[in-house]
Amino acid sequence: MKLGVHIGYWGLGLTREDQREIVLEAERLGYDSVWTAEAYGSDAATILGWIAGQTSTIKIGSAIFQMPGRSPAMTAMTAATLDQLSDGRMLLGIGSSGPQVSEGWHGVRFGKQLLRTREYIHVVRQALARERVEFHGESIDLPLPDGPGKALKLTIAPVQERIPIYLAAIGPRNTALAGEIADGWIPTLLSPEHLPMLRENLEEGAAKVGRSLDGFDIAPTVQVRITDDQAGARDLARPFLALYVGGMGSRDKNFYNQLVQRYGFEAAAKEVQDLYLEGRKDEAAAALPDELIDLVSLVGPKDVVRERMRVYAEAGVGTLGITPLAWTKDERLEQLRLAAEVLESL
């Protein structure tokens, strides 16, 4: 199992120089990859280009590029450019984002996500292979049939023969789609104990096209705080988990809430969501069971985190992408070092 580090969204309390030191320390410590995100603030592509110029060995990953924010051709152009800038270190993570961001920020309807994702990745792969892009599907029609458009070919070549495409997915059908068409899967709030159940979805998708999952990278994003104060570490994880379980989406369509219910926390998931949507965010965070926090986070003393890392590795995780629960540069650097030490001691 390899380590990746998520630097998250840009500009949330850390300076450019802080982030640079964090990335360089991760590279020095032997982290395999660094990932950045986008929502409706900083974009991920610009940050990855900046990181590519500061580093030499660590892979650079988008977690994720938002599909509604870019045409598939633009995603291919961006990935190929970043692959050239990094001398072949690009990992292309994409996802559909959520209905509020897709429709409220990008003005793109959120419906038919399975169909849209399948067609989107097909066109991205076609473009990255430097084929003339022609595709006539339900959500994508290239070239448009009633105008002067022509089938074009990407004018630059990626360094990698095949840039790995990772799909961020939560629900069973989206996870199956990742197993069918992607090279890796980026789950959030992953419980390694439940990975065999979730892997069934990946295998279902792979079986549809007769492919093996050998080499397929399961790359969850996991919050990490290594400290002797386990209760305090859990409390640091609570606001993020409450946001996702309680407020990420509507009452009827919150994929993270549904996932937690699949883990067996039906009552807690409902309580957290009710409190969060009523505006009682602190109470929602307090209502999260310690057992759930421990299941989907790496929080506590070294020995505890070591055993949890072992569970992730034995469950089949290939890249453990950690998000340090730390708000200053020095604390983040310390968490990076501790996590590397713990993995080394497995």
For residue 320, pLDDT beyond 80: yes
Contact 240, 271 (CB under 8 A): no
The CATH architecture that domain 2-225+298-344 belongs to is Alpha-Beta Barrel (3.20)
Stretch 147-164: mean pLDDT: 97
The candidate with the shortest Cα–Cα distance to 255, out of 93, 99, 117, is: 99
Q: What is the pTM of this model?
A: 0.96
> Could you report the per-residue pLDDT of 131-153, keeping only the tens digit for each?
999 999 999 999 999 999 999 99
Per-residue model confidence (pLDDT) at position 68: 97
Per-residue model confidence (pLDDT) at position 187: 97
Q: Fill in the DSSP letter of residue 188.
A: B
Per-residue model confidence (pLDDT) at position 111: 87
* Strand ranges in the chain using DSSP code E only, listed in sequence order: 2-8, 33-36, 59-62, 65-66, 90-95, 135-136, 141-142, 165-168, 184-186, 217-218, 221-226, 298-300, 319-324
For residue 249, pLDDT beyond 80: no
CA distance linking residue 10 with residue 47, whole number of Å: 8
Cβ atoms < 10 Å from Cβ of 286: 13
Antiparallel, parallel or unpaired: β 184-186 and 217-218:
parallel
> Could you report the per-residue pLDDT of 116-136, keeping only the tens digit for each?
999 999 999 999 999 999 999
For residue 66, pLDDT beyond 80: yes
Antiparallel, parallel or unpaired: β 2-8 and 319-324:
parallel
The candidate with the shortest Cα–Cα distance to 286, out of 240, 338, 235, is: 235
Q: What are the start-end ranges of the H helices in 182-226?
A: 195-208
> Could you report the per-residue pLDDT of 228-248, keeping only the tens digit for each?
999 999 999 999 999 999 998
In the chain, where the domains are located: 2-225+298-344, 228-297
